[in-house]
Amino acid sequence: MSEYEELLKIIQQGDFMGTQNLVKALLDQGNSPNQIIQKGIIVALDIVGKKFSSGECYIPEMLVAAKAAQKGLDILRPLVAMEGFKPKGKIIIGTVKGDLHDIGKNIVAMMLESAWFAVIDLGYDVPPEKFVKAITTENAQILAMSCLITTTMISMKYTMDAIREAGLYGKVKIMIGGPPITDDFAKKIGADFRGKDAYEAVKQAERFISSL
């Protein structure tokens, strides 16, 4: 088994220390930080994401894999910055007002970071005006909103209304997601696309950024 194959395996297993040790070993062998990200971390999370979408693994497995990937990125991120590599794009993310659930949002944020996006995480229970302010100050290409419970879906609409009132609609692409969210709801409130799960959210973001 090659070291990259081993890295894919231990990230999927959620082995934090093993991931850090192998990333350091790959660096010592002359692999560039960008190579390790592209051939190791991104591939591992792509595998986990596909398994999650197909029902072969569940949120706990996805969460520990994303956290393991983050441990590797903690080592690589400053080295990549020194080499002059830039993130694919910038994404603002948050769970909407009234919703205190953030596990799904956290997984999406970690997956996006591991796919080499710059992520501005606003947290949970985020009011519309905070999303609006972030759009005006962060120069992001995508705004991602999450909710877990049906009763907070209305907060997404209120946020969309606030974005329109601020004259910012169309300035960023808007992605929404969460268990109660449907494609019809996304279309109804004027969101650009729906990320049905963390894997699809990353792929949607990559498709949009690559189209610019």
Task: Out of 83, 99, 123, pick the residue that ends a domain.
Answer: 83
97 and 63 within one domain: no
Buried b (16+ CB within 10 A) or exposed e, 46-57: bbbbebbeeeeb
Residue found by looking up tokens 């029902």 in the block: 55
Q: What is the mean pLDDT of the chain?
A: 93
Q: Which of 56, 83, 110 is the last residue of a domain?
A: 83
- The pLDDT, as a whole number, for residue 81 is 76
Residues 53 and 142 in one domain: no
Q: Average pLDDT, stretch 66-93?
A: 89
- pLDDT recorded at residue 192: 95
| CATH label of the domain that carries residue 67 | 1.10.1240.10
Mean per-residue pLDDT, 175-189: 95
pLDDT at 1: 64
- pLDDT score recorded for residue 165: 97
| pLDDT digits 0-9 by tens, 163-176 | 999 999 999 999 99
Segment 20-35, tens digit of pLDDT: 999 999 999 999 998 9
Domain final residue, candidates 34, 57, 83: 83
Candidates 99, 97, 120, 125; CA nearest to 108 is 120
What's the CA angle centered on 9, arms 7 and 15, to 5 degrees? 80
Domain of residue 12 covers 3-83
How do residues 80-119 score in pLDDT, each as one tens digit?
Answer: 877 777 888 999 999 999 999 888 899 999 999 988 899 9
pLDDT at 194 over 70: yes
Q: What pLDDT does 53 receive?
A: 87
Question: CA dist 38 to 34, 63, 113, Å?
Answer: 6, 20, 12
Residues 190, 111 share a domain:
yes
Give the range among 39-43, 56-60, 82-86, 199-203 with minimum mean pLDDT. 82-86
Contact, 54 vs 98, CB < 8 A? no
* Helices (H), ranges, 84-197: 103-114, 128-138, 153-165, 183-189
Identify whether residues 53 and 123 lie together within a single domain: no
Number of folded domains in the chain?
2
What is the distance between the alpha carbons of residues 10 and 70, in angstroms, rounded to a whole number?
Answer: 13
* Pair (68, 165) in one structural domain: no
